[in-house]
């Protein structure tokens, strides 16, 4: 009820205000009519109404050019990044027909190259899937963990793929890298591939938890120069192995002439005999030389050409696992190990003679600079006195 009374009171007040306003306006209009009808009253200065001030309506400033032409300037539209009008503008009617035709050909060429690249990527992808399908049983049998299941591979680029596995006592980590022909590029697939003998390759890298002092390498003579350039320690710290078991197309390097090293080389060559024609290089090393000394490496790298035979990759992986097991259990006599360590130290002193000398000089200079001797203090004082004094004093 209270709410209803308030509403009624408010409505009544509004009506009263409206009536009062109408009553006040009626006498004013009557007075104006009397003044206009009675001219004598208008002549009376007392009855003359006050002058009314009329205000002109506010008008916006108008550009004289727009006022003359009666045109309205439209603000320019914001150009989008992928605007079809901008892309298709050369195809407008005002362009020559030959230009429009060539531009259309160019667009078709770009679209065709994109489609061809996608087809090449899918071809490489299917190639890797077939190889992985052959490798998967071997990986599941010998390793506890396989990454990226169920595909078991990762695409790094359009022509590079990688697989990873771990969980074996003789191998901490296993990487399988596939470097295929760039089938997404027409030139690489049909021209460069035959000119430079490009083929699909598979590289197996195995990190071992334990490895005795052994450095052994097998390279194909066609790629021997490139391998030596990439691994300078092979040319500087190993001997060329003369073995009748090795085919004439390959060359082997070993870090010593002892029987234990020759035995290891014979085992590896026998394990690789089945796929030796496809072998690009094999490299096993426990450490690599540096200026500070030998750095522990403990890796086995095996690179082969992967042809149309998908089972070849499975055979290579099985052989690499057997070599890793043999390498982990391979040991040399203490006397041989001591002699090898001493020979490596001497080799470091020869290989990195200039680097070691430079490091010693830098260490000596740093040590001298850190010390503050009386002679050094005198030299600093002489330098300070020899500096020219400024003619104008600096105001701080």
pLDDT 10s digits, 142-199:
999 998 888 888 999 988 999 999 989 989 999 999 999 988 888 888 888 878 888 8
User: Which residues have a Cβ under 8 Å from the Cβ of 271 and sit 6 or more positions away?
Assistant: 319, 322, 323
Is residue 50 over pLDDT 60?
Answer: no
- pLDDT tens figures, 58-72: 555 555 555 555 555
**How is residue 53 annotated by DSSP?**
P
3-state secondary structure 73-94: CCCCCCCCCCCHHHHHHHHCCC
Supply the pLDDT for residue 6.
59
Torsion region of 334: left, alpha or beta (phi above 0 gives left; psi -120 to 50 gives alpha):
alpha
Place of tokens 């195995």: 206
Supply the pLDDT for residue 180.
92
Beta strands per DSSP E along 67-192:
145-146, 154-155, 160-168, 171-179
Nearest CA to 312 among 274, 273, 280, 283?
A: 274
- pLDDT tens figures, 13-26: 666 666 555 545 55
Is residue 221 over pLDDT 80?
Answer: yes
- pLDDT tens figures, 295-338: 889 999 999 999 888 889 999 999 999 999 999 999 999 999 99
Torsion of CA 280, 284, 289, 292, to 10 degrees: 130
Distance CA 51, CA 372 (A): 100
Torsion region of 70: left, alpha or beta (phi above 0 gives left; psi -120 to 50 gives alpha):
left
Place of tokens 């295929």: 180
Distance CA 311, CA 321 (A): 16
Nearest CA to 322 among 274, 280, 388?
A: 274
- Adjacent-strand bridge partners of 18: none
User: Which burial class, exposed, middle or buried, applies to 151 when counting CB atoms under 10 A from its CB (0-12, 13-18, 19+)?
Assistant: middle
Nearest CA to 340 among 284, 283, 257, 282?
A: 257
């Amino acid at each position: 009820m209270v709410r209803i009374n308030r509403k009624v009171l408010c409505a009544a007040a509004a009506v009263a205000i409206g009536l009062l306003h109408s009553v006040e306006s009626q006498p004013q209009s009557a007075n104006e009519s009397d003044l206009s009808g009675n001219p004598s009253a208008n002549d009376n200065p007392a009855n003359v109404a006050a002058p009314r001030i009329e205000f002109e309506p506010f008008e916006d400033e108008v550009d004289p050019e727009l006022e003359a032409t009666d045109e309205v300037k439209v603000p320019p539209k914001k150009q989008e990044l992928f605007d079809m009008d901008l892309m298709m503008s050369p195809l407008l009617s005002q362009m020559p027909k030959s230009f429009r035709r060539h531009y259309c050909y160019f667009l078709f060429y770009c679209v065709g190259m994109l489609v061809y690249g996608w087809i090449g990527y899918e071809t490489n992808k299917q190639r890797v899937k077939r190889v992985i399908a052959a490798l998967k049983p071997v990986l599941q049998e010998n390793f506890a963990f396989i990454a990226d299941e169920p595909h078991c591979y990762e695409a790094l680029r359009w022509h590079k793929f990688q697989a990873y596995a771990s969980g074996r006592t003789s191998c901490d980590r296993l990487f399988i890298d596939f470097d295929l022909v760039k089938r997404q590029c027409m030139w690489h697939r049909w021209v460069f591939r035959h000119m430079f003998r490009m083929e699909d390759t598979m590289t197996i890298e195995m990190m071992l938890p334990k490895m005795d002092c052994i450095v052994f390498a097998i390279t194909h003579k066609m790629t021997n120069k490139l391998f030596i350039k990439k691994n300078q320690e092979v040319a500087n710290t190993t001997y060329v192995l003369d073995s009748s078991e090795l085919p004439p197309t390959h060359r082997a390097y070993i870090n010593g002439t002892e029987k234990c090293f020759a035995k290891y080389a014979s085992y590896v060559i026998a394990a690789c005999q089945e796929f030796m024609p496809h072998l690009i290089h094999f490299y096993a090393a426990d450490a690599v030389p540096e200026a500070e000394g030998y750095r522990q490496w403990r890796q086995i790298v095996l690179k082969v050409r992967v042809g149309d035979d998908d089972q070849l990759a499975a055979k290579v992986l099985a052989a690499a696992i057997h070599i890793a097991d043999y390498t982990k259990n391979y040991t040399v006599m203490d006397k041989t190990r001591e002699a090898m360590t001493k020979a490596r130290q001497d080799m470091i002193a020869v290989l990195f003679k200039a680097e070691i000398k430079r490091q010693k000089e830098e260490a000596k200079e740093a040590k001298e600079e850190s010390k503050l001797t009386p002679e050094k203090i005198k030299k600093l004082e002489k330098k300070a006195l020899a500096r020219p004094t400024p003619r104008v004093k600096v105001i701080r």
